[in-house]
A and B are shown apart, each in its own frame.
Chain A
Amino acid sequence: MATSAVQATPTGSGREVAVRIGAQVLVETLRRLGVTAIFGHPGGAALPIYDALYDARDIAHVLVRHEQVAAHAAVGYARATGRVGVCLATSGPGATNLVTGLTDAYMDSIPVVAITAQVPTAVIGRDAFQEADIIGLTLPITKHSYLVRDPADLPAALTEAFAVAASGRPGPVVVDVPRDVSQTPLAATRGEPAPSRRAGPRAPHAGQIAAAAALLRDARRPVIYAGGGVISAGASVELTRLVDQTGVPVTVTLMGKGAIDEHHPRCLGMLGMHGTVCANYAVDAADVVLAVGVRFDDRVTGRLRDFAPQARFIHIDIDPAEIGKNKPAHVPIVADARAALGALADALPDPLPLEAWWRQLEEWQARYPLRYRQGDDVIKPQFVCETLARLTGDRAVVVTDVGQHQMWAAQFCRPRAPRTFISSGGLGAMGFGFPAALGAQVARPDATVVALVGDGGFQMTMQDLITAVEWRLPVKVVVLNNGSLGMVRQWQEFFYRQRYSHVFLRNPDFARLAEVFGAQGRSVRRPDEVEAALAWMLAVPDGPCVLDVHVDPQENCLPMIPSGQSVKEMILG
């Protein structure tokens, strides 16, 4: 392949000199779009693309050991930076292995572009070797997708894919590239894609802002319910300004963690199924709820009709279809969260008279703190999370897997900045944590990235420890090891009369396993060793390390509002 000719080709001059093949155009387009890292795995149909990547020294291709990791890593990359994450897989099994990660990106509105190779156009639809209809497979879990049939369309398709993924409500986009399309020489591309007809960030309607301001001004018990949309809109500054000016309390969703500094005195922490008592009581008693960048997920609301039953709702969302989906909004504001919160802060420059409300909130905070009892013999998982938060000053990038540890992390880690708490919210995909941490560490090489995982979820994707070793990515893996699928065990205990069906795990020695992979590893079994072990881990200079923390296998995650119920049915700690 004429790879040397490519370097000699003047790009962007309008005059095409050398003949390039589709794959080279694809790689050039990725470079022009500012892509510096791709998570991927090669295979037959992807060979032309990989051949073109051979020369792309400025694009780091992280070879993962399973495409699921590529997709989760792309999500981690995107969530740590706000930039579009990119994953690459071959046709058939390569592409299908991306599906879990893409679904995660769809549920959590994360901008990801998945480039999948496809069998040659001539055999598409004939059940060719390693053929899968990836467009069809991903239709319900992508914002959009492209099957590129002509190499001249590659730049436009990719450019549009990146724009679609990142604009409006972000989400995943698939670009499927048949092998012959990436192999075909082409003299010229179709030039720049037409400017997108999709509008930029929407400005809020002035009348609705005034209505929202009036509602808040008259409120006696207002609460802000802030979600992931605040983070993706980059609206943390505006949210904080609004809170500082008005004194309205804020509660965050799992996706909204870090939307405001959770050490802020007006922040009540997380709400929902495993949220703080105060946050849930506050919403329950609220007369006005300002919902911003949230989708009234059932893990937050419980039984819908009992969610904030006395409240009038102001709902800010970039996606009109979210408004009224689960709960009707009295003041709907379809807009970019940053613009809307900024306008609202301008309209409400003074503190609101909320002294009585805060007296009530502080009483709840004092009466119902998150609690656990750390004794001398077994390690409480909450103690590990709390100690980690203290040692890092809540400034590390914490990436969790899914399960009990995820909720303990959500309760005890109080991130100070957006994009420093990353978790699989909507899909709840076990196996997400470690790969997403890999992606976050690639995106932010200088940051301390901690993957807080359970023993169950870690085993779903831990093979990629070797990838971290290979790239010397200093991801710090903390395994909260309780020898079971803890959240499932908890539900079986509470709701299935302790019939513990297939929930206990025989685990490998994670510390020794890390060493086999070439990473550093340590095990901890006693409470008095926890702090030193965490400090050791945080000090490991380069390369990954695994801290296997054997925690109390009986511990449950509380408080808890059982699925489909309300605050009234909350199980306290």
Chain B
Amino acid sequence: MASAAPTPQPGTAAATATANGGGGGPRTLGVLVEMRAAVLERVAGLLRRRGYPVRELVLGRTEEPHLARLFVVLEEGASGEQVAKNLNKLVDVRRVADLSAQPTVVRELALIKVDVTPGTRQEVLLAARVFRARVVDMGERTLTLEVSGRPEKVDALYRLLRRYGVRELVRSGPLALVRGPQST
């Protein structure tokens, strides 16, 4: 089954190359911040007032209760360097890393609610198996899948399911860690 998967599996060269397409693609910045009042507002406000093209902003807890990791995904063509330099000026920001430039593990979680008919149900289930998505809800007319993986994998599954009719979709945005012993 794995061999039929349309996206590379974790651990293969293609998956470890970059978080999301180094060069001209969207850039992901990993930002370690102190979990203090208004920290998300400070970051979001800075990105807004400088007019940086932000595609996604994800905040998650870490191994340290007072620290959080923030992932800023910029639209294609944006200068990650200027954004990083400005983020670094915030007192609550500990560290900014351009994750697009190093080998990382990137994962995103999505829930996809798909329309199904008796005729398409098996096809959707097959797609779910191929993508290693779990069925988390099944009704007469809909089927809800849970999928996790690199954002491109989620994209691919979504593209595939669209023809059946995606009723609702929710994505977590990416979480990432640098591979190996070095910290993110």
Task: List the one stretch of B23-31, B84-92, B166-174 in contact with chain A.
Answer: B84-92
Q: Which residues of A contact B (CB under 8 A)?
A: 135-136, 139-140, 143-145, 147, 164, 169, 198, 319-321, 323-325
28 contacts between A and B (CB under 8 A): A135-B37, A135-B38, A136-B38, A136-B41, A139-B41, A139-B42, A139-B45, A140-B45, A140-B46, A143-B89, A143-B91, A144-B90, A144-B91, A144-B92, A145-B38, A147-B37, A147-B38, A164-B91, A169-B89, A320-B88, A321-B82, A321-B85, A321-B86, A321-B88, A321-B89, A323-B85, A324-B82, A325-B82
Query: A160: nearest residue on chain B (CB-CB)?
Result: B91
Segment 26-79 of B: residues with Cβ below 8 Å from A: 37-38, 41-42, 45-46, 49
Rounded to whole angstroms, the CA-CA distance of A136 and B45 in the bound complex is: 10
Rounded to whole angstroms, the CA-CA distance of A169 and B86 in the bound complex is: 12
Residues of chain B contacted by A139 (CB below 8 angstroms): 38, 41-42, 45
Query: B41: nearest residue on chain A (CB-CB)?
Result: A139
Q: Could you mark each residue 151-180 of chain B with 1 if its beta carbon is under 8 Å from any beta carbon of chain A, else 0?
A: 000000000000000000000000000000
Residues of chain A contacted by B41 (CB below 8 angstroms): 136, 139
A109 to chain B, nearest CB (A): 12
Q: Which residues of B contact A (CB under 8 A)?
A: 37-38, 41-42, 45-46, 49, 81-82, 85-86, 88-92
Query: B85: nearest residue on chain A (CB-CB)?
Result: A321
Query: A198: nearest residue on chain B (CB-CB)?
Result: B91
B85–A320 contact, CB under 8 A?
Answer: yes
In addition to A140-B46, A164-B91, A321-B82, 4 A-B residue pairs with Cβ atoms within 8 Å of each other are A135-B38, A143-B89, A198-B91, A325-B82
B32 to chain A, nearest CB (A): 13
Rounded to whole angstroms, the CA-CA distance of A320 and B88 in the bound complex is: 9
Residues of chain B contacted by A135 (CB below 8 angstroms): 37-38
Residues of chain A contacted by B37 (CB below 8 angstroms): 135, 147
- What 6 A-B pairs have minimum CB-CB distances, sorted nearest first? A321-B85, A144-B91, A320-B85, A321-B86, A139-B45, A140-B49
Rounded to whole angstroms, the CA-CA distance of A136 and B40 in the bound complex is: 12
B72 to chain A, nearest CB (A): 15
Rounded to whole angstroms, the CA-CA distance of A347 and B88 in the bound complex is: 31
Rounded to whole angstroms, the CA-CA distance of A272 and B143 in the bound complex is: 65
Q: Which of A144, A147, A321 has the most CB of B within 10 A?
A: A321
Residues of chain A contacted by B90 (CB below 8 angstroms): 144
Residues of chain A contacted by B88 (CB below 8 angstroms): 320-321
B176 to chain A, nearest CB (A): 24
Rounded to whole angstroms, the CA-CA distance of A323 and B82 in the bound complex is: 9
B81–A324 contact, CB under 8 A?
Answer: yes
Query: B81: nearest residue on chain A (CB-CB)?
Result: A324
Rounded to whole angstroms, the CA-CA distance of A262 and B38 in the bound complex is: 44
Residues of chain B contacted by A143 (CB below 8 angstroms): 89, 91
Residues of chain A contacted by B42 (CB below 8 angstroms): 139
B79 to chain A, nearest CB (A): 8
Query: B90: nearest residue on chain A (CB-CB)?
Result: A144
Query: A323: nearest residue on chain B (CB-CB)?
Result: B85
Query: A164: nearest residue on chain B (CB-CB)?
Result: B91
Q: Which of B41, B88, B91 has the most CB of A within 10 A?
A: B91
Residues of chain B contacted by A324 (CB below 8 angstroms): 81-82
Rounded to whole angstroms, the CA-CA distance of A88 and B42 in the bound complex is: 23
Rounded to whole angstroms, the CA-CA distance of A164 and B42 in the bound complex is: 16
Residues of chain A contacted by B92 (CB below 8 angstroms): 144
Rounded to whole angstroms, the CA-CA distance of A169 and B91 in the bound complex is: 12
